[in-house]
Structures are given as C-alpha cells and as structure tokens.
Structure 1
Amino acid sequence: MAPNIAIIGAGPTGLTAAIELKRRGIIPSLFEARNCLGGQWAYEVLTDEPVDVRDPQSQSVYSAMYPKLRANLPKRAMQISDYKLPEELELFPGRVQVLDYIDATAKAAGISNLIEFNTPVQHVEKAGDGWRVTTEGTQRIFTHVIVATGKDSYPNIAKIDGLESFEGSVTHSQSYRLPNLYEGKRVALIGACVSSEDISLDLSPHAEQVYICGTFPPNGHKCYVRNGLYGQSLNISQHDRPARVEGKNIYLQNGEVLYDVDAIILCTGYIYDFPFLKGSLNDIELSGCSIGPLYLNMFYPSDPTLIFLGLPRFTVHFASIQLQSVYCAKILSGELELPPIEEIKAEVANGGCVLQKDPANLEEYHNSVFECFARLSDMTGEPHLDWKGFLNTLNDHKRHYQQDYRQYPFTYDLKE
C-alpha cells in the first residue's frame, strides 16, 4: 500500500520533498500556515515601527525578508530539483526573483494544488502505526510525517544583562524591514554573521552610525576580517561582544563603551523549535540551540516514519535539501530500504550528530555534516559535488570584495 504522507511547510524544503515524492508516484499532503508558499522567501509586511522583542504582545513574524535583500549564494546553488533558474537572473538574485522561481517551480511540478494554505499544524502525535496530525478543527492519520518547517523560524534572543531596560528599541533581524526607520540613529547590530553583514550595509546610508558587535569563528564570514570604518558613508565599525546594557549605553567585553545608542538589532540567528511536537517525543533534543541526534540528520531514530528535512546549518541549503529529499523519497517509494531499527539506534547512540546552532568546533561540525551528505550521494546515486570547497571559495570571494561581493563574477567547478 502506498504511504500516506504529510509534509509540514511549503517553503523550498517542503516543495523539494513533494517534487521528489510525486516523481515516484506518491502524492503528499502539504500543510502551510500562511496564505502563500515560499517559506522565508515570501515577504511579509510589518508595522511601521520595529517589532520590539521585549513586548510579549508583539506580532508573530514568519519571514525575515526585507525589500532590498538579495541571496548570499549564487543562483547555481539555489536550484530546486532539476528546475533551472532563468538565465537572465542576477548571479545573486533578489528576494522577488527567488520567490518567483519557487512559485513557478511549484506550478510546473504540479505541487501548488497539493498545498493546504492557512492551515497551521497544531499537534503531531503517534497514533497506532501512524501519526495523528491536528489542524484547526480536523485530525487526520498519516503513515509518515515530514517536518519541513526549516531552521530559521524562531529568533534566538540573546541574553544580555540590562537588555530589558534598554532605553531604545530592541528588535531581531527577522523583523528588520525598512532602513529609513533608523534615519539619523546610532544602531548596534548584535552578532557578526550573515544578517549583520547585509543589514549593516542596508542601514549605512540612513543611520548616523552602525556598530557590529560580535565575533565569529574564522569560517570565512567577511565580518570576521573587517577592521576600521566602512560602508557608504564610512559609518560602519566592528566591535567586541556586549557585556551589559545600561540606559542607552552598551558596555562591551573588552571594556569599550558605545554611548547613546538609539536601537539594537539582534542578528543572533535562530533556535530550533517544533511546538507541534511538544509532548510527543521525549528521547531527543527538540528545541533550543541543538536538535537530535537524528539518523542521517533526518530520521527520528525511535520511529523513522517521522522525518526532519533541512535542519543542518552552515551548508548550501538548497543542495542539502535536494539530497535529503531524494533519499527520503527513495526510502518511502521502496527503491531503497532503511537499516533495521536496532542498527539505526545503535549508529545514533555511537556517535550520532547533534545538529547545533553554534557548534563549538565549526570545522568538525562541517566535516560531520558533509560526510553525511556524501553517504546520501553514495546511497542515492546523486553526483558527489564539492559543496564544502564551494563554500570556502565563496567566503574567500566575500573577503576580497567586502562591501559588494555580489557585484563581481564568481565561478566554481563543483566537480568532485
């Protein structure tokens, strides 16, 4: 009997999984909380004022898109299945171009009509040999559940002494939208990774001063090697991590003080969280800064009919979800078989990778994740592509063209 599969989330991850399943004759049901597909790439209009993370009544935010956002990966690395991006797209396409591509791909693959929009999943629990999926007013049983809600939905709110009483605004990069809201202000970005890189340059023409506060392991993020002032008006500077906040002043760990700061934007990433699974799984970490261990970073080891896609960080996301989706679809269609449950549990117990938001050793984490992708390539017959080398070369490119790396040609031979 064909499996009856629920996919939670209709962003790139859920759509890729659906495409690979449908290709093998399995028609899944996709549940999407919003009224549109695209996940993070679907822009969400917010209020005219920054969403303050200290306000418990502040609105929920689904998307981190802002008007001028562009992909930080070249289009070659953003392909879904075998649906190529249009040749005329910029090398690093803008958010609208990416969303248009995702939408066109879903239509071409016949996935759009499988999506149940405005249908947030409230709870998932084991029911006999299957899973009971509860949405508002309905309960349905599925043989398998694929969790494709992603890893960037729940903001990580940094714990900084005095942040609650800061006399300016405190928002998270997820709800950053318009730079003109910070016109003439002194803005501190907490964190020195991708979002602070891009938001600092978006703010530069409007803010009086932009401070990037934070350090990051030397993995290639261009913020790590920046020194001095830069930006459109030479008003972006990099500083140490914050130690505490008093009034409108930020005291840094190296003793420096940033005085009279008007706004703080937390560029501190996201935590893992799956509220619809609370109470259902008690033998793995399911929220916070780590999740797992999962078999092949995908399968719930106690019952591999529950599958998580798109959770590894610091990878090439579209490429990783493609590999995972192909393997998942081949398992569910019977083309491949999982090992016996005892072997799965034994492998996980003897060194299963716990996926982390901020791994202590990024090189070790990278090796573990990319070794897993190599295994998936071996088992599925998908080509071995050197995505790790691709990332290293791209980060060199970013370091070389610190402010405007998207404007310069970037090529890399992905052959292993």
Structure 2
Amino acid sequence: MTADAAVIGAGPGGLVAARWLTSQGFEPTVFERSPVLGGQWAGLSGTSGVWPAMHTNTSRVLTAFSDLEPRGTNVFPSGAEVRDYLYRYARTFGLLSRIRFGSAVEHLDRDGAGWWLSHDGERSRFDRVVVASGRFHTPAIPPVPGLDTFTGTVGTSSTYHYRGAEALRGRRILVAGCAVSALEVAAELAQQGAAAVVLTQRRQRYVLPKFAAGVPSDHRIFTRYGVLATENLPATEVDRQLREIVVEAGGSPEQYGAPAPDPSLFAAGVTLSQQHLPLVAEGRIAIRPWITSVSGPDVTFADGHVEQFDGIVFGTGFDLDLPFLSEEIRALAGVDAVHLDADRYTFHPDLPGLAFMGMWDQSGGYFVPLELQARWIAYTWGGSIPAPDEAHQRRAVELYRTRRGLPQKTRMNLAALGFARAAGVEPCLHDWPELRRALLFGPLAPSQFRLQGPDALPDAPARFARDAAAFGAVTSNEYTARERTYWAALQSAGV
C-alpha cells in the first residue's frame, strides 16, 4: 500500500495534523491503536490518564482549535466534553474515514524509497510520517528504597491509572509529586472520603489557581508579552514578573500552611490547581518532604517522620516512550526517556519526511501549540512556506543537545509562538493597533493565528477580540498600570 502520509495516533495531535495535511493536498492515513479516537481524552483505562471526574486545567478558549468553536459554557470543560469536541472536529474535516482504528504501529523504519510502518501483520510504505502517538503514556516512577516491599492494602499506582476516589475511600493515601495530576488527585481524594491524604514532594512549587478574579489563569500567564519578555529582558526580571502575577492571583504557599517555596519561581516551579492550597489550609491535605524509604506499610520521609499508608499514588511525570521507532531513528534523534533531538521538537535534518508532534513536556494547554505545529509541518511539506534551512536545523539540534540534563519543561506560550513564527502566522503588532493590547496581554487564543499569513480568515479579528474579552481580562485597548510598566520595559529593551 502506498499513500502520501501516515499519522501515528488519533489524539488531538494526530487529528489536527491530519486536518492540516489534508488542506495541503495530502491523503493521510491515521493509525490508532484504540477502538476510538481522542488519545488521552478517550478516557480508556490503560491508554488514557483522564479519569471520569476530571476537568481540564485550561480554559475552553484555549482547549480548542482555530476553525471549530467549542460548545457549552463550562469555563473548564470535562474530559467528556473534550472527547466530544474531538469527534466533532474529526467529522467536520472528514477525518473519520481516514482513521484505522485498532491498528497499532509496531515498527517504523525507512529505506531509500520511503518510510515503512509495520502494523496488523503487514508493512505499508509512506512518503511522509507524522509521529503523534502522545507524550504522556508511560508514568515515570522514581526509585525509592524499599518501594517493592510496600504492603499497604491498596498498593502502589500512578495518577495515570487513577479512575476515581471510590476505591480509596476510608484509606490513608500518600500522593507523591507536585505536578498537576498529583495535586488534582490529592484534592479529589481529600474531598471524597479518603481517611487521610498526605502529599510528598521534593520541593514546594508555587500554586496558581485555575481561576482568579473571574479570569482563567491561563489567560494571564501564557501571553505573547511573556514570550517577548523572555527574549528581551534579563531572566531575573522575567522571574520577578511571573512570580508577581502568580502570587497576586493565589498567594504564596506558606500563607496556607505549606512550606515556603524558593523565592525564584523558575527554581521552584509552578503548578495549576484550584483546590490544593485551600485544602492544605484546612488540614485536609498534609505536606511532607520527599520519601527516603519504604518498609512494609511504613513510609519514612526526609524529615525523619514515619507514617503508615494503605496506598501510594505517584504523580511524578512521564517518560518519553516511542517503542516502535527503529534503532536508526532512535540513534539519529537521540531518543531516550526525556529527550528527542529535533528542530523545535519537530524535524531532524537527517530524517527528511518524518515529523514529531507534541513530544515536548509543557506547562499549559497543548491544543494551541499543537495546531500551530501541525500547520508548520503541513505548510513545509506542502510548499506553502520554504522548507527549514538545513544549517539552521543542525544548529537547533546542537543547541538542544547542549541542554540535556537541564529542566526540559517548556511554557505553552513559548512553544506556541515558536511554531507560529515557523509557520508564518504570528500576527504583527503594528498591523493590528486596535488589537495590540489583546495581542500582548490577552490569551493566546487560536483565533489570533488566523489574522494573517497562510489561511487567514476574514472573521478572525472579531473572533479574537471576543476571545480576549471572554472573561473580562481584555475588553479595551486601555492598558492597566502594570501593563504600561511591563510594556515600557520591553520598549526600553528595543522591542
């Protein structure tokens, strides 16, 4: 079988890649191992970390693509709403007939004639392949001395396999980690009948509420201004500004009875959670330093405290796991549990015709950067924009390699603007004076990336103005005092 392109995975990344490849004249075939589409949002045990009661930590404006409006009024959609949106997206763009459900790709390799996929007992050749199989499917469980001796009655698991509080009611549960899933699971258990909930963490992060003063926090913190500041201001000043926004929205953890975080937000990190800190303040979630050892039901912490638990739930991140890649691809792209050497997480100059989707670890929602990455891939392969310069790609890969061993998490606005620039769809501030404040300090709504460049839409200005004003954050072009100060700092830096 020969076809123009294969897409591995029918989650948000695979679907949006197929939609934009189709717009460029390709005939993509999508391989999906599950019987349904949606990836994580399908909610299937074993292939999804979304549990039935889960809601997004990103607002509905940013949990959507640019050419299909979300339905409903929930500011933070449920998992079922996101799944339904993805089905509607697939139907709208004629993608369902392109998906081969229950078809797991077992091996991807290449020869001089193209790319070969092994699946369903056969091998198929494609000119181009997009790997969109998901970044968050293999929980990373850190080594803990004695963990294999744990004898709590409900055992050990990960937040990826959590399916609700019912099985843990009346139990003493230790939740390990301080990322979103750990805080959300701990909060749900504390509110739904666990006998005790203790959170163990290596360091105290700042915690940003999902909603503050009537505005979703992802509208405030993941802005274009934040990208420009990162590129043009000293790192210490960017750190100070981000911490100022976070603490003003939700306070600092020690005010709630949690440990004090590092004064640097960059050193401490930040996690979104609406309920975590209030539950700490009420004594319904206790905080402990990291685990030093486990023996039977007993857990010993770094402060010497020992406590018995019925279960341990790890929310400690995910390993990058692409087991179907050939040894050649793995070696060229330097793939391991954390890293993938590629120009902006997408292309490698020694692997022409292959692209990766969504393989970076990120703070913030993925829908907007995924669509922009898909457009970059499709425009490049379709000839709408020039192919990336090989020398530039090699420099980008080498730069990434120098950062191995450093923290790899990327802020959503940095990823999104990087892809928008690559695709030629970053709106120019000077071309939209009536939208300048919204473009700087408003949300990175997908509609703003249809203002100009390939596939610009005539209704995009009105849509973006509406999206920016949706929760009252940016309703006019009149800057706040803080925005004026921040913008003046950028202008003095030559922006």
1:68 and 2:98 matched: no
What is residue 136 of structure 2 aligned with on the other side? 152
Indicate the percent of aligned positions where both proteins have the same amino acid. 25
- Range 152-161 or range 30-39, more displaced: 152-161
Letter in 1 for 2:4: N
TM-superposed CA distance for 1:38, in Å, is 0.3
Aligned residue among 291, 297, 301 for 1:242: 291
Letter in 2 for 1:311: M
TM-superposed CA distance for 1:72, in Å, is 0.7
1:330 and 2:379 matched: yes
TM-superposed CA distance for 1:355, in Å, is 8.5
What is residue 167 of structure 2 aligned with on the other side? 181
- Range 338-347 or range 131-140, more displaced: 338-347
TM-superposed CA distance for 1:342, in Å, is 4.2
Give distance in 1, aligned partners of 2:43 and 2:440.
Answer: 28
**CA RMSD, 1 decimal:** 3.0
Contact 2:172 2:196 in 1 (8 A): yes
Question: 1:327-362, CA deviations, whole angstroms, 9 ceiling, x for partnerless residues?
Answer: 11101111122234344223422x136888x95386
Could you tell me the TM-score, scaled by structure 2's length?
A: 0.69
| SS across alignment from 1:76 | coil
Give distance in 1, aligned partners of 2:325 and 2:472.
Answer: 42
Give distance in 1, aligned partners of 2:421 and 2:346.
Answer: 16
Give distance in 2, aligned partners of 1:338 and 1:122.
Answer: 30
1:118 and 2:117 matched: no
What is residue 400 of structure 1 aligned with on the other side? none
Q: Residue 244 and residue 75 in structure 1: after superposition, are their counterparts in 2 closer, same or farther (change >3 A)?
A: same
What is residue 165 of structure 1 aligned with on the other side? 149
| SS across alignment from 2:62 | helix
Q: How does 1:74-93 map to 2 (within 5 A)?
A: 74-86=59-71, 88-93=72-77
Q: How does 1:148-297 map to 2 (within 5 A)?
A: 148-168=132-152, 169-204=155-190, 205-216=192-203, 218=205, 220=207, 225=253, 226-227=256-257, 231=279, 234-257=283-306, 259-281=307-329, 282-288=331-337, 290-297=338-345
Question: 1:117-174, CA deviations, whole angstroms, 9 ceiling, x for partnerless residues?
Answer: 0000000001214111110211111111100011101111121111111112000111
Question: 1:186-225, CA deviations, whole angstroms, 9 ceiling, x for partnerless residues?
Answer: 0000101101111112212211000111145646456982
Contact 1:311 1:355 in 2 (8 A): no
TM-superposed CA distance for 1:300, in Å, is 2.3
What is residue 215 of structure 2 aligned with on the other side? none
| SS across alignment from 1:30 | strand
Structure 1 residue runs of 5 or longer lacking an equivalent are 46-60, 392-408
What is residue 345 of structure 1 aligned with on the other side? 394
Could you tell me the TM-score, scaled by structure 1's length?
A: 0.82
Give distance in 2, aligned partners of 1:376 and 1:118.
Answer: 31
Q: Residue 244 and residue 390 in structure 1: after superposition, are their counterparts in 2 closer, same or farther (change >3 A)?
A: farther
Question: 1:353-373, CA deviations, whole angstroms, 9 ceiling, x for partnerless residues?
Answer: 6888x95386xx54xx85564
What is residue 108 of structure 1 aligned with on the other side? 92
| SS across alignment from 1:324 | helix
Q: Residue 370 and residue 75 in structure 1: after superposition, are their counterparts in 2 closer, same or farther (change >3 A)?
A: closer
Contact 1:130 1:144 in 2 (8 A): yes
Question: 1:284-304, CA deviations, whole angstroms, 9 ceiling, x for partnerless residues?
Answer: 33131x222201221123113
**Between Structure 1 and Structure 2, how many residues are aligned?**
374
Q: How does 1:316-395 map to 2 (within 5 A)?
A: 316-349=365-398, 351-352=399-400, 359-360=406-407, 365-366=410-411, 370-371=413-414, 373-383=416-426
- Range 151-160 or range 4-13, more displaced: 151-160
Give distance in 2, aligned partners of 1:275 and 1:355.
Answer: 24
Structure 2 residue runs of 5 or longer lacking an equivalent are 210-249, 259-276, 428-437, 445-469, 478-486, 488-495
Give distance in 2, aligned partners of 1:371 and 1:44.
Answer: 31
| SS across alignment from 2:327 | coil
